[in-house]
Amino acid sequence: MRKIVIPFIVLSLTFATACKNKTMKSTDAKVPLATKEAKKLEKHGDVRVDDYFWMRLSDDQKNALEKDAHTKKVVSYLEEENVYYNEVTKPTKPFQEELFEEMKGRIKEDDSSVPYKDNGYFYITSYKVGNQYPIYSRKKENLEAKEEILFDVNEMAKDFDYYQLGGLNVSNNNKLIVFATDTVSRRQYFLRIKNLETGEIYKDIIENTSGGSVWANDNKTIFYTKKDPVTLRSSSVYRHVLGTPTSDDVEVFHEKDDTFGTYVTKSKSDKYIIIGSYSTVSSESQYLDADNPTGEFTMIQPRERDLEYSVSHFGGHFYLLTNKGNATNFKLMKTPISKTSKENWVDVIPHREDTLLEDFSIFKDFLVLEERTNGLNKIRIKRWDKKEDYYLPFNEETYSVGVYANPDFDTDVIRYSYNSFTTPSSVIDFNMNDQSKEVKKEQEVLGDKFKKENYLSKRVWATTRDGKKVAISMVYHKDTALTKNTPILQYAYGSYGYTIPDSFSTTRLSLLDRGFVYALAHIRGSEYLGREWYDDGKMLNKKNTFNDFVDCSQYLIDNQFTSPKHLYAMGGSAGGLLMGAIINMNPELFNGIIASVPFVDVVSTMLDDSIPLTTGEYDEWGNPNEKKYYDYIKSYSPYDQVEAKDYPNIMVTTGFHDSQVQYWEPAKWVAKLRNLKTDKNLLFLDTNMEAGHGGASGRFDSLKETAKMYTFFLALEDKIETVKN
């Protein structure tokens, strides 16, 4: 490889003209123009030329104490992009800080979760004023008991730029706890064990895990999942015995199929340990008596393509959420533990064409179902003795509801959460016998500006080019008139069947109070309208996702809710792919977009099975080793489809340690856009050199990242100071 030189060109740019005394002056900023080094990539007789392939670094290169020349050049390019972003946006820094303080000011800093009871203890997560991280504690038997601190994450994180604590798992005798830590943001967790009686943290350290673990009932054996060190695929389940060297840990299951991942969990009844294997369209499970940790696992139902199922235990049966028998929207079945193969499965809740069965929870006397109909999720309560079967009532036009932490099996009370675009989140205990409810906590929005009645939400339906109806959930300040001059931020994701909930956000108020409308488009690729809605937005139907978003944008413009001068778009990860696709398709519809950790180099990534996630996602995107998928993916891959034309204002964010979407994808994309675009609009690449896919780990640091992004939109709209009272 020849020497990499990163030259700069100088342009005179005005970031935005703000209100009052915050008018920004033209800034002479050095625009990074990355060196082009042609690399030919050939597949199926097709040759692609990647001029920026050199930006890729291996994990070893990134993490080496002594950086080689190539690594230094790549890091230098990323840092120059950061310098450019900071220089051009320098006039907005005071406002970013004000916005951060504004958003922070709505948060109750001294706060705690609603305690939940599990195996004789109440568990609590709390925050103290000024703290970035939570404190985990518990109280024995009642809330008046002495508080026992399990972990103060603020102390644990003080020497790290990034810190994530997770996977907390208490042994059955309540004396030990497993915990997982990630200090790189690569989602490769260390597992450790703490003695809750003495406070001692044992020497056992298990590296490169998924973060989860399961205790056997002997209180000394744990099962956990290890990741492939290169691809980060969750590939093996191991057994560890407390006090023994981790080198002696036994691999009890290895997932040989590299399109599958694996995990280990425990039934709510504490009776069984379950190993699951999963791909996009298939799954299988094995079980083991938790009293016999050295025993052999027993298969429930061997994997079959297009057969999915998940398992819960109740009495003498396993209950299975499954799509068996072409149950596209899933159904609930059960099978005797002695006869688990699929021919013995019988319906408990049959399949329904108009209702997606998303999840279920089992209690001693009740079955609780989480369903979705016409885009809205519902909670259904059904007695095992069939004396009652009813839905919880929810009255708003659009909302989000879900069953909360309910570890107790023998209870008549379920806990669920409820919120909407205009209603702060509430945690509610509902008595399934007398149907009474108690609001245990409602999210506090501090300050005197927020009043629920000042905000309006509604749902509209856009008709797409192929005749489908796509819901757009909208929220805005009551004083904001919907006209062609109204700024709208349109958001979507549209992949993996994930449905973004219509939920409340305290940070979003900073946009709404300045006249923005937030519009969430429930495009294909999600499961908003059932499993078919997802299937119609993946593989060789993936372009429906992009077309839906563009058609929703056109609907908002045609109905004069906004206009191209005031329409903005935002998405992250696979939603960042969406952003890249729509600005290649119809850049004229948008004034600005933010693509966060965007998956934009789809062809190259899906051809590289050494990259995390690739092999497990062939059934989401298609396998480009087959020509029909290669051609289709290439036809929409944002990096491959960049052209010499005008693009809107663009801000791209990434994390140097991202394991989900490698940093070089957005970096290459920005470099190619800089080289080809014909406009003078803004183009930023902001790389967090200390974080990964999820961004900053502290609760306040993440707000600073949000303030950056909101400032980008507000500055483009000249709304840096305009706030409604």
DSSP 93: H
- The whole-number average pLDDT for the span 698-712 is 89
pLDDT at 299 over 80: yes
In the structure encoding, which two tokens stand for residue 633, read together? 């993916």
Question: Tens digit of pLDDT for each residue in 215-224?
Answer: 999 999 999 9
Percent of the chain with pLDDT over 90: 82
Q: Do residues 178 and 220 make contact, with C-beta atoms less than 8 angstroms apart?
A: no
pLDDT number for residue 613: 72
The confidence band for 62, taking pLDDT boundaries of 50, 70 and 90, is confident
pLDDT at 102 over 50: yes
Residues in CB range of 590: below 8 A, 6 or more apart:
553, 564, 567, 568, 569, 582, 583, 648
Contacts 24+ apart (CB under 8 A), 674-680: 674/31, 674/32, 674/33, 674/34, 675/33, 675/34, 675/36, 675/51, 676/642, 676/643, 676/644, 676/645, 677/642, 677/644, 677/645, 677/646, 677/647, 678/644, 678/645, 678/646, 679/646, 679/647, 680/11, 680/13
Q: Where are the alpha helices (DSSP H) in 15-128?
A: 59-63, 69-88, 93-105
The confidence band for 21, taking pLDDT boundaries of 50, 70 and 90, is very low
The confidence band for 693, taking pLDDT boundaries of 50, 70 and 90, is low
DSSP secondary structure, 417-452, as one string: EEE-SSS--EEEEEETTT--EEEEEE----SSS--G
pLDDT at 15 over 50: no
Task: State the Cα–Cα distance between residues 308 and 295, nearest whole angstrom.
Answer: 26
- The whole-number average pLDDT for the span 578-596 is 98
pLDDT number for residue 609: 85
Question: Tens digit of pLDDT for each residue in 41-50?
Answer: 999 999 999 9
- What the chain holds in terms of domains, given with CATH numbers, is 8-104+457-716 (3.40.50.1820)
The residue written with tokens 């940790």 in the block is: 293
166 to each of 63, 133, 148, 273, 642, how far by Cα in Å?
Answer: 23, 12, 18, 20, 40
Give SS3 for 220. coil
Percent of the chain with pLDDT over 70: 94
pLDDT number for residue 697: 59
User: Residue 158 CB: number of other CB atoms within 10 A?
Assistant: 11
145 to each of 140, 141, 142, 173, 497, how far by Cα in Å?
Answer: 6, 7, 6, 18, 43
Q: Do residues 362 and 332 make contact, with C-beta atoms less than 8 angstroms apart?
A: no
In the structure encoding, which two tokens stand for residue 530, read together? 């059932």
Question: Tens digit of pLDDT for each residue in 176-226?
Answer: 999 999 887 778 889 999 999 999 999 889 998 999 999 999 999 999 999
Residues in CB range of 322: below 8 A, 6 or more apart:
307, 308, 309, 310, 330, 331, 332, 333, 345
Task: State the Cα–Cα distance between residues 452 and 332, nearest whole angstrom.
Answer: 38
DSSP secondary structure, 142-210, as one string: STTSPPEEEEEHHHHHTT-SS-EEEEEEE-TTSSEEEEEEESSSSS-EEEEEEETTT-PBPS--EEEEE
The number of CA neighbours under 13 Å toward the Cβ of 358 is 21
Give SS3 for 616. helix
Give SS3 for 482. coil
User: Residue 512 CB: number of other CB atoms within 10 A?
Assistant: 23
- The whole-number average pLDDT for the span 616-628 is 95
pLDDT at 683 over 90: yes
Question: Tens digit of pLDDT for each residue in 119-176?
Answer: 999 999 999 988 889 999 999 999 999 999 999 999 998 888 888 899 999 999 999 9
- The whole-number average pLDDT for the span 495-519 is 97
- The whole-number average pLDDT for the span 604-632 is 91
Q: Which position among 213, 234, 285, 573 bears the catalytic label? A: 573
In the structure encoding, which two tokens stand for residue 55, read together? 């930006």
Poorest-pLDDT segment among 127-131, 303-307, 552-556, 683-687: 127-131
Question: Tens digit of pLDDT for each residue in 332-374?
Answer: 999 999 999 999 999 999 999 999 999 999 999 999 999 999 9
pLDDT at 302 over 70: yes
Q: Which of 113, 173, 115 is nearest to 144 (CA)?
A: 115
**Which helix H or strand E contains 461, and what residues bound it?**
strand 455-463
The confidence band for 11, taking pLDDT boundaries of 50, 70 and 90, is very low
Q: Which position among 152, 659, 693, 697 bears the catalytic label? A: 693
Phi, psi at 5, each rounded to 5°: -125, 135
Task: State the Cα–Cα distance between residues 361 and 375, nearest whole angstrom.
Answer: 21
Please tell me the pTM assigned to this model. Answer: 0.90
Q: Do residues 492 and 521 make contact, with C-beta atoms less than 8 angstroms apart?
A: yes
pLDDT at 670 over 60: yes
Longest dimension (CA), the chain: 77
Q: Which position among 204, 249, 551, 658 bears the catalytic label? A: 658
Bridge-based pairing state of the strands 455-463 and 426-431: unpaired
pLDDT number for residue 49: 97
Give SS3 for 555. helix
How far, rounded to the nearest angstrom, does the alpha carbon of residue 1 sit from its chain's CA centroid?
Answer: 37
Q: Which of 639, 470, 635, 484 is nearest to 559 (CA)?
A: 484
SS (H, E, C) 670-725: HHHHHHHCCCCCCEEEEEECCCECCECCCHHHHHHHHHHHHHHHHHHCCCCCCCCC
Q: Do residues 348 and 333 make contact, with C-beta atoms less than 8 angstroms apart?
A: yes
Task: State the Cα–Cα distance between residues 619 and 35, nearest whole angstrom.
Answer: 36
pLDDT at 3 over 70: no
658 in catalytic set:
yes
Residues in CB range of 455: below 8 A, 6 or more apart:
421, 422, 475, 476, 477, 478, 512
- The whole-number average pLDDT for the span 406-426 is 93
257 to each of 638, 641, 703, how far by Cα in Å?
Answer: 30, 32, 40
pLDDT number for residue 695: 56
The confidence band for 696, taking pLDDT boundaries of 50, 70 and 90, is low
- The whole-number average pLDDT for the span 380-397 is 94
- The whole-number average pLDDT for the span 410-426 is 95
- The whole-number average pLDDT for the span 559-563 is 98
* Beta-sheet strands, E only, within 255-354: 261-266, 272-278, 283-289, 298-301, 309-314, 317-322, 331-336, 346-349
